[in-house]
Amino acid sequence: MSIQAEQFTESVDSPTVEKPKRGGMGAGSWFLLISIIIAGVIVALQLASQNQVQPRTGPAPDFSFTTFDGEEYKLSDLRGKVVVLNFWASWCAPCRDEAPELQAAWEHYEPRGDVVFLGIAYADNGPRSMDYLEEFGVTYLNAPDLGTRISETYHIQGVPETFIIDKDGQVAQFVYAGINFRQLRAILDPLLGAS
Amino acid sequence: MRLRWLFLSLFVLSVLVVPALAQDGNTVTDDEVNEVAKKLYCPVCENIPLEYCGTAACDDWRYEIQLQLEAGLSEQEIVDDFIARFGDRVVGVPQDPLLAAISMIVPILMIGASLLAILLLGFRWLRNRPEPTSVAAEPTADASPYRDILERDLAG
Amino acid sequence: MLAEIGFLSLILSIVVAIYAIVVSVYAERTHNETLALSGRNAVWVNFAFMALSTGMLQYALVTQDYTVAYVWSVSSPDMPALFRWSAIWGSQAGSLLFWSFLMSLFAAVAVWLNWHSQRRLMPYAIAFMMISVVFFSGLTLIYENPFERWWMTPTGIDAMGMQEYDVISAALQPPGTVEPSNSRLAETAKGLNPLLRHFGMAFHPPALYLGFVGFLVPFAYAMAALASGDLTRDWIKASRRWTLVAWLFLSLGLILGGRWAYDVLGWGGYWGWDPVENAAFLPWLTGTAFLHSVMIQEKRGMLKLWNMVLVIGTFSAVIFGTFATRSGLVESVHSFARSEIGFPLFFFWFSLTLLGAGMILWRRSQGLLRDEHRFTSVFSRESLFVLNNIIFMALFVAVFWGSFGAPITSELFLNTNITLGVDYFNQVTPPLFLALFILMGIAPLSAWGATSVSRLGRALLMPFLLTLATLGLFMLNGMTSIGALIGYGIVSLGGWVAIYETFRGFQARQRVHKESPLASLRMLFARNPRRYGGYMIHLGVTVIGIGIIGSTLFQQETQQTLSVGESLSLGGYELRYDSFDGGQITQDGRILDIANVTVLRNGHEVAQLRPRRDFFPNGDMSTMTIAGAHSTLENDVYVLLVGWEPITAASVTFKVYINPLINLIWWGSFILILGTIFATWPKEIIPARTREALRTGDPSLAAARGA
């Protein structure tokens, strides 16, 4: 049995306070609790979305883009062909290493007509991007990722990163970091050989 | 439509790059570039103002700002250009009116609510004033150690 | 072997902590004294195991045992010895272990100091503290085990007939593996992140952690009060010193962080309003509000609901801060690498906040958090403190919204990333800070209960005149901006009130007692440490405030390229580029490029500065820009090396800042720390004999204790 010390202080110190006993928690209390729950849910959603990673399988997220030459396309326009989607930037050193490899691979596959190379410039859309393309003699499609929307859709963590998308629009392979001609051939030939 | 204008300006810029490189000394000072860079954030690194960011990419972007200033673009035009290319995260307070409203609305609401709370409390106290309870006496010396001892004795 | 001891110790400490929780709660419900004592002892046993565990990791770091994966990832053979000690918080796993250790330490000390005086609250308090310890130790054990070691598993024979190995990490030796050689591992050791290899980084994290963890104890007492129903002043009295100590370390941690940023990050500033910085600032806001608000409950039994909300809110902010930092909730330069501990941390924060709020509302509905007195006057001390609380909460919401609320909302619901940077915070927070400074001037002069405006005005007269004199000084020195003068005035008022009140107390003592002035001052602080320590803290805050206004509003900068012998001028100073020392190699493998510049004022040489760029080829190939600064009370001349012509360094680009009054920030912090130490000092310690005599009711001894 313990004495409620509260009773001492209330009667000694404050004779002026009236105490109508309220039973149960009012609507305000429930509102507060529910707000905390909602806030928690929002934070959890944010955490979940931050933890998303690059797609390694399944349908490749669609996006629209406008190439450096001003032509507008959507990824889904390229359905029926194998797409090599490569994220790069002119300020990225490993990208410069893989650029000649990609160009060589493109020249190898271009005559077939069922492969498309698409370069997306991440946070890079100024004169230096054009210099980069000129320097490596890049002839395949390239588009700047305005507002970094495409990069966010694919949850890339940096550049260079490459996604190979098969003819049905499914992600066949994700390559983190630079890629070379040999690796590309090893991935592409099976996808193309099947048809 | 806006995109076409953007690419046109990019072409104009690239055309300007060549003669700019050919020129010796530039007319735009570092301080002027930094003035503009101060208002922008690095598009790639997180939460670093473009003025201070030390990466090669940021050097490139500051160089671009220099070119744009030399081409005669105003500060606001450069900022708008960066937003169009990199998204709203590149400025410290969003320029898009909806986003700006969301950003500023809560603090404004909060300050307003606080003022309201203060006013309401003030009025309530003024209304309840009738009894000036004399509270000169400090509460009696703290009895908690004795209460504890009593408790334990009673608890056995 | 030692790593295994550390690992097992950690497991045992968790088991003991779980025992402590269960036993303490059970003992409280059944009023079983023996079990309660057992629970108390379990806290100390838990601390012993945590200390052993952390000690093992620290030992491994200091003795360079690279077979421990964590040691390999945060240290390297060429690191200076000091950083071997600070490397324990160099990365996620070690810092979590260290955090758990601190929680365990504070719990043990709290139990040791307060078991008898707070006997009613202790069992529940132990339960809540141990819940925290279990969570963080468990998190470390399961997700980020710092005791994992490198093992080599044979994978086959290669072309030349040599055994090939794969390297894996695991806590206990998997069968069939071989222990790798320490010296081979040492060659590839990653080493501490270069940014952390600075004196400031040796102290900033532990100070911050001590501040965060320190709030565990007031939180536990508050929750214990809610759980047990004892909502009198007990929990406040128990928490008071803990809150001050935690607040001291939190303030120190924030200041050290700012100083480190200023010295090492190379952007001429000390606070960037980055989300992770703000995450550490949020608990400081509610903590400071709580520190003030508890005085009202102690003296008048009011603001009980506010105090509960503030203390539980502070700890909730601490957990949220650590969750946001370690999980990468929003983008920040401070983020640790993203890991899986995000969701567990989230659930802990969420449950704790919901439980705390629920319990507060429950007890409130029972009428136990009612004010014991009424508010009688708008200018009474109680009212001003409520105002204080409201403004701190408004600041809290504004900072939270800018760092987390708005970016999360726009990212989730509008699919757009936004940054709310310095521009936002510098628009929203100054009016609130100024309001706080005004309160800091008025509130110490207010009285309990009825206060007339005229009385307050009379008390304010002298400090106000002193403030005007200060402003006159500023104007004499060439300050013309009205806005800045108003800012300086508002900020100085609080400081002058503090000085003047201390002086009045000193004067009063001098009139009554025959003692030397120094003795008077000493007795003043000894008799009433909280009040005069508090005044000193206010003075420190004022000095910091003046420094912040000066360095923010009147900073000058320029960036120019100079050739050898050329000078630039800024703010009355001239900077001349003299020479360049490139490619200097240091003992720990850094490559330094140093520029030598001379600072002149009115033609006289004032300082020789050596701004430099450090390059870490052995680490992650990163660079650090270290400024050269000439510091005086008036300003800092702060020079950064931005770039230079390769090889010849015939022309070098410098960025120069003039930061007026910035050193007041560091001096003010020193005053603040000193004041907090005074305020925490025990007022009177009753000798054990006297305490015993009071128990038995011996009147003669009671009289001796007397006045």
Q: Is B139 on the interface with C (CB under 8 A)?
A: yes
pLDDT of amino acid C336:
54
CB contact under 8 A, B30 and C234: no
Mutate to test the interface with B, among A13, A16, A125, A157 (most CBs of B within 10 A): A125
pLDDT of amino acid B135:
45
* pLDDT tens column, C437-461: 999 999 999 888 777 788 888 889 9
Question: Is the CA virtual torsion A168, A170, A173, A176 positive or negative?
Answer: positive
CB C642 within 8 A of CB C613: no
Can you tell me the distance from the alpha carbon of A108 to that of A99, in angstroms, rounded to the nearest whole number?
14
First CA to last CA across chain C, in angstroms? 60
The residue assigned the tokens 């030992």 is C59
Interface of B with C in 107-126 (CB under 8 A): 107, 110-111, 114, 117-118, 121-122, 125-126
pLDDT of amino acid C137:
96
Can you tell me the distance from the alpha carbon of C241 to that of C304, in angstroms, rounded to the nearest whole number?
18
CB contact under 8 A, C561 and B30: yes
* pLDDT tens column, A163-173: 999 888 889 88
pLDDT value at C277 more than 70: yes
DSSP 8-state class, residue A24: S
Q: Between residues B131 and A63, which one has the greater pLDDT?
A: A63
Can you tell me the distance from the alpha carbon of C24 to that of C125, in angstroms, rounded to the nearest whole number?
9
Q: How confident is the model at residue C509 (pLDDT cuts 50, 70, 90)?
A: confident
* pLDDT tens column, C613-655: 988 887 667 778 889 999 999 999 999 998 898 888 889 999 9
Q: How confident is the model at residue C191 (pLDDT cuts 50, 70, 90)?
A: confident
Mutate to test the interface with A, among B3, B15, B44, B61 (most CBs of A within 10 A): B44
CB contact under 8 A, C365 and A16: no
Look up residue C216 and give its two tokens: 């565990």
Could you write out the three-class secondary structure of chain B?
A: CHHHHHHHHHHHHHHHHHHHHHCCCCCCCHHHHHHHHHCEECCCCCCCECCCCCCHHHHHHHHHHHHHHHCCCCHHHHHHHHHHHHCHHHECCCCCHHHHHHHHHHHHHHHHHHHHHHHHHHHHHHHCCCCCCCCCCCCCCCCHHHHHHHHHHHHC
DSSP code string of C451-517: --HHHHHHHHHHHHHHHHHHHHHHHHTT---HHHHHHHHHHHHHHHHHHHHHHHHHHHHHHHS---H
Percent of residues, chain A, with pLDDT higher than 70:
86
Q: How many CA atoms lie within 13 A of C79 on its CB side?
A: 31
Structural domain total, chain A:
1
CB C532 within 8 A of CB C544: no
pLDDT value at A22 more than 70: no
Query: What angle do helix axes B56-70 and B75-86 make, rounded to 10 degrees?
Result: 140
Look up residue C130 and give its two tokens: 């141990």
Stretches in chain B below the pLDDT threshold 70 = 1-26, 128-149, 151-156
In chain B, domain spans:
2-90, 96-128
CB contact under 8 A, C398 and B106: yes
- Whether A41 is in a domain gets the answer no
Strands A141-145 and A115-122: parallel
H-helix or E-strand spanning residue C286:
helix C275-300
pLDDT of amino acid B141:
52
- Whether A15 is in a domain gets the answer no
Q: What is the mean pLDDT of chain C?
A: 89
**pTM reported for the whole predicted model:** 0.87
Among all residues of chain C, which has the CA nearest to that of A16? C373
Q: Max alpha carbon distance in chain A (Å)?
A: 97
Look up residue C384 and give its two tokens: 């001003």
Q: Which residue from C147, C169, C142 is spatially nearest to C339, judged by alpha carbons?
A: C142
Q: Is A16 on the interface with B (CB under 8 A)?
A: yes
- Whether A19 is in a domain gets the answer no
Can you tell me the distance from the alpha carbon of C510 to that of C514, in angstroms, rounded to the nearest whole number?
7
* pLDDT tens column, C317-346: 999 999 998 887 877 666 555 668 889 999
- Whether A30 is in a domain gets the answer no
**Candidates C393, C420, C623; nearest CB to B93:** C420
Helices marked H in A82-148 — which ranges? Answer: 93-109, 127-135
* pLDDT tens column, A118-146: 999 988 887 888 889 999 999 999 999 88
pLDDT value at C376 more than 60: yes
CB contact under 8 A, C559 and B41: no
Percent of residues, chain A, with pLDDT higher than 90:
23
Taking residues C424-430, what's their average pLDDT?
90
Q: How confident is the model at residue C685 (pLDDT cuts 50, 70, 90)?
A: low
Cis before residue C617, ω within 30 degrees of 0? no
CB contact under 8 A, A29 and C364: yes
**Interface list for chain C against chain A, based on CB atoms closer than 8 Å:** 120, 229-232, 234, 301, 327-330, 338, 342-343, 346, 350, 353-354, 357-358, 361-362, 364-368, 370-374, 408-409, 411-412, 417
DSSP 8-state class, residue C68: B
* pLDDT tens column, C606-615: 999 999 998 8
Q: How confident is the model at residue C696 (pLDDT cuts 50, 70, 90)?
A: low
Q: Which CATH number does the domain housing residue A133 bear? A: 3.40.30.10
Look up residue C168 and give its two tokens: 């894996």
- Whether A43 is in a domain gets the answer no
| A·C CB contacts under 8 A | 89
CB contact under 8 A, B47 and C275: yes
Q: How confident is the model at residue C411 (pLDDT cuts 50, 70, 90)?
A: confident
A123-138 residues labelled b (16+ CB within 10 A) or e (exposed): bbbbbbbbebbeebeb
- Whether A4 is in a domain gets the answer no
pLDDT of amino acid C622:
76
pLDDT value at C378 more than 60: yes
Give the number of other CB atoms < 10 A from CB of residue C158.
9
Over its C-alpha atoms, chain A yields an Rg (Å, rounded) of 29
CA distance, residue C394 to nearest chain A CA (Å) = 17
3-state secondary structure of C558: strand
Q: Is B132 on the interface with C (CB under 8 A)?
A: yes
Q: How confident is the model at residue C142 (pLDDT cuts 50, 70, 90)?
A: very high
Percent of residues, chain C, with pLDDT higher than 70:
95
Can you tell me the distance from the alpha carbon of C379 to that of C443, in angstroms, rounded to the nearest whole number?
8
Look up residue C591 and give its two tokens: 């490559």
CB contact under 8 A, C432 and B111: yes
Q: Is B49 on the interface with A (CB under 8 A)?
A: no
Is the predicted ipTM greater than 0.90, yes or no? no
Amino acid at the residue C604: H
Note down the domain range covering A128. 64-193
Mutate to test the interface with B, among C300, C419, C615 (most CBs of B within 10 A): C419
CB C215 within 8 A of CB C314: yes
pLDDT of amino acid C6:
93
Among 3.40.50.300, 1.10.8.640, 3.30.2270.10, 3.30.450.30, name the CATH number for the domain at B2-90.
1.10.8.640
* pLDDT tens column, C94-140: 999 999 999 999 999 999 999 998 888 999 999 999 999 999 999 99
Torsions phi, psi for C155 (to 5 deg) = -115, -10
